[in-house]
Amino acid sequence: MHSPVLVLKDSLKRESGTKVHHANIQASKAVADIIRTTLGPRSMLKMLLDASGGIVVTNDGNAILRELDVAHPAAKSMIELSRTQDEEVGDGTTSVIVLAGEMLHVAEEFINKNYHPTVICRAYNKALEDAVAVLDTIAMPIDANDLLGLVKSCIGTKFTSQFGDLLADLAIDATTTVGVDLGQGLREVDIKKYIKVEKVPGGQLEDSRVLKGVMFNKDVVAPGKMRRKIVNPRIILLDSPLEYKKGENQTNAELVKEEDWGVMLKIEEDYIENLCMQIVKFKPDLVITEKGLSDLACHYLSKAGVSAIRRLRKTDNNRIAKACGAVIVNRPDELQESDVGTGAGLFEVKKIGDEFFAFIVDCKDPKACTVLLRGASKDLLNEVERNLQDAMSVARNIIKNPKLVPGGGATELTVSATLKQKSSSIEGIEKWPYEAAAIAFEAIPRTLAQNCGVNVIRTMTALQGKHANGENAWIGIDGNTGAISDMKEGKIWDAYNVKAQTFKTAIEAACMLLRIDDIVSGIKKKQAPGSGQAPSKPQIETEADADSEQILHD
């Protein structure tokens, strides 16, 4: 007999075959169970402590998973799912995880029966194609003006649903403001660049509003001398410093005569005066620069009755440019009349809480806006901001692709019923996993029912019965009461591309995880010889001892 050959090092762990499949499925189910209770209007909140001791209270699937520190590789890829979903469509982060977890759960029994994973994947992909086809048939087009009900149903599941229409209105206002027509009926909404969310603790949530313009927390440079309220201001935006340029590297000037010193200072002053005169020539009321502004320049400007703001963030400057129609100028001597922004109706500096904020509002046709959020505590504001983010994404999706599918689990039930019927016509071994995928779609209405606290089995059978004969695709669960109702009447809708993306992401991820049949772990970086694994144990103990000694000292 030959002696056994060692290929892998001792320190490597290798798991292969069905063991891996089971481990992956367990891990994914664990992740799905963490956020299962946060689906639907009756959802619970999760409280997370992050590393620095801050608290996050949220029920946004992505926000929860982002904070988790997960060891298992399969669970990590599940967490990636919700992130993709959040970046792509901004909503449905929870449903993606629940659905993917369920898909893997139903695949488990096939693996026990020694089905080959590729067979299961083939069936799943077939199911996915058919599911998207079903979505197309039940989707109904909608005019983009009917946004409110839609956005409301998407925020209905969030913590802020108690403030009802307030957030939905904010989101719709903001997204319709910054929407840009690309022609051919397409609209592009850039949430990240042109919608700024300013959180100011204090006041009440009802005071939140969308400004027809921008705000930023800066005050004018010389508060006593410059005007703080200007109606119909002419705004000039600069990207250059209004101060004397120093030499690039250290420059030494040798002066022979005393008067030369005066001459040099005079040159500096003239330079700045020249700069300011070029600007004042255009009779602006407000000059904003991203860079510094020296005292002297400040003096010249305030003498001319111009208010000035310095050291503004570049992103804020872009927003102001979009809002009032100004052009950001890099050199004062290149100013033209067309660069002056006249679109704003009012500039004023207000004190909110204990900081000064500059408002440039009442713009004629703003292409950028600021959402001002007020609220009692920082945690509350963070949660509201996350919900607002979701709401704006939904509004953006509808503006881009105005198609609706029913919410409340109705879509999933319809898809499930259709796939069940189709499964009988599928030949060969793929029929069973296909049918299982159909059943997996029911995870979402089932979870909704669980979170409402109704009798899950009865509700589900009633719903399946209603959908099996295919009479009405819009029957689902009313998430608040758990009653079975028509989603059209309850105005419970989801955006089409959110649903499609959810299905695609979930099934593709399930396939990917099923295809893994080998995990090799413990691949370490090359260590210095002699520093093996052995000494790690006692070290830990000594550290703990040292800690306790320290405490005694105090």
406-431 pLDDT, tens digit per residue, is 877 888 888 888 888 888 888 888 88
2 within a domain of the structure (yes/no): no
Question: What ranges make up the beta strands (E) of 136-244?
Answer: 140-141, 180-183, 186-188, 195-201, 209-211, 214-216, 229-231, 235-238
User: Please, where are the H alpha helices in 309-407?
Assistant: 314-324, 378-400
Condensed to tens digits (0 to 9), the pLDDT of residues 244-275 reads: 777 667 777 788 888 888 888 888 888 888 88
Out of 38, 58, 60, 169, pick the active-site residue: 60
At residue 404, φ and ψ (nearest 5 deg) are -120, 150
409 in Cβ contact with 477 (< 8 Å):
yes
pLDDT digits (tens, 9 = 90+) for 327-369: 888 887 888 888 888 888 888 888 877 788 888 887 877 778 8
Asked if 279 and 169 sit in the same domain, the reply is: no
DSSP 255-293: --SHHHHHHHHHHHHHHHHHHHHHHHTT--SEEEESS-B
Same domain, 288 and 349: yes
Q: Which helix (H) or strand (E) holds 361?
A: strand 355-361
SS3 349: strand
Confidence of residue 488 (pLDDT cuts 50, 70, 90): confident
Q: Which of 38, 58, 93, 157 is catalytic?
A: 93
Q: Determine the structural domain holding residue 350 and report its residue range.
A: 213-246+260-363
Tell me whether residue 547 is one of the annotated catalytic residues: no
Q: Within this chain, do residues 126 and 23 fall inside the same structural domain, yes or no? A: yes
Does residue 396 belong to any structural domain of this protein? yes
Same domain, 394 and 428: no
By the 8 A CB rule, do 388 and 112 touch?
Answer: no
User: How many domains is the chain partitioned into structurally?
Assistant: 3
Identify whether residues 358 and 370 lie together within a single domain: no
* Average per-residue pLDDT for the chain: 79
Which of 98-107, 456-465, 534-543 comes out lowest in average pLDDT? 534-543
For residue 442, tell me if it sits in a domain: yes
> Does residue 237 lie in a domain region?
yes
Model confidence, pTM? 0.74
Q: Are residues 46 and 91 in the same domain?
A: yes
Q: Dump pLDDT digits (tens) for 147-193.
A: 666 677 666 666 655 666 777 777 777 777 777 766 666 667 777 77
What's the pLDDT tens digit per position in 98-149? 888 888 888 888 888 888 888 889 999 999 999 889 888 888 887 766 666 6
In a domain, 538, yes or no: no
**282: CATH:** 3.50.7.10
The position carrying tokens 């367990």 is 26
Residues 48 and 135 in one domain: yes
**pLDDT (0 to 100) of residue 526:** 61
95 and 71 in a common domain: yes
DSSP readout, 27-83?
HHHHHHHHHHTTSSTTPPPEEEE-TTS-EEEE--HHHHHHH-----HHHHHHHHHHH
Q: Which of 94, 370, 418, 505 is catalytic?
A: 94
pLDDT for 158 equals 66
**What's the one-letter identity of residue 64?**
I
Q: Please say if 60 is a catalytic residue.
A: yes
- Quote the CA–CA distance of 360 and 220 in Å, as a whole number: 13
Is 173 known to be catalytic? no
Report helix, strand or coil for 146: helix
Q: Which strands form 209-211's sheet, in the order they lie side by side?
A: 195-201, 369-375, 209-211
For the record, the structure tokens of 369 come out as 């806006």
347 and 437 part of one domain? no
Q: Is position 537 within any domain?
A: no
Q: 524 falls in which pLDDT band (50, 70, 90)?
A: low
pLDDT recorded at residue 359: 85
Using a 10 angstrom Cβ sphere, with 0-12 exposed, 13-18 middle and 19 or more buried, the burial of residue 32 is buried
* CATH code, 377: 3.30.260.10
From the candidates 91, 169, 339, 390, give the one annotated as an active-site residue: 390
What span, in angstroms and rounded, lies between the C-alpha atoms of 285 and 227?
9
Shared domain for 393 and 415, answered yes or no, is no
Q: Does the annotation count 160 as an active-site position?
A: no
Same domain, 95 and 166: no
In a domain, residue 526? The reply is no
In a domain, 253, yes or no: no
User: Do 103 and 55 sit in the same domain of this protein?
Assistant: yes
CATH code of 488's domain: 1.10.560.10
